[in-house]
Amino acid sequence: MISRRTFRTGGVLAAATGIGTVLALFSPISPAHSAVACTVNYTVSQWSGGFVADVRINNLGEAVNGWRLTWSFTAGQQVVSGWNATVSQSGSAVTATSMGYNAALPGGASTGFGFQGTSNGTTNPVPGSFALNGTTCTGGGGGGGG
């Protein structure tokens, strides 16, 4: 039996505090840093011992040229193969890196990739959080059924 679960997590990079703004007036000018903000939709179709995940990154911040999405598995899941991203795993840590054709991710745009994995057959929890280019996408997300 195949079941589907969908999980959504989102968040934004915090803005500078009032004192930081005041200090900036008296500091040398430095280059601006892109504010990263995102949501991730993670949908799983699974069967005993395996699953396919569809991952959608929604860029809520400034344009990104070259993206890297990271997360951790908590129940021994293993990535077997991926598409529309280079997906690799070291221990429980997973990294998906953009391909040349989908590296540009304008603000307000989204991109997706997928991968096939194995699980222990009894549990396959959805990752608790994701990070886009090192910035965590967390907060008021939804949950998914099993």
Beta-sheet pairing, 93-97 with 68-72: antiparallel
Per-residue pLDDT of the chain (146 residues; tens, 9 = 90+): 454 544 455 443 333 334 343 333 333 443 444 578 999 999 999 999 999 999 999 999 999 999 999 999 999 999 999 999 999 999 999 999 999 999 999 999 999 999 999 998 778 999 999 999 999 996 333 333 33
What pLDDT score was predicted for residue 138? 60
Q: Residue 23: phi, psi to the nearest 5?
A: -60, -35
pLDDT of residue 36: 81
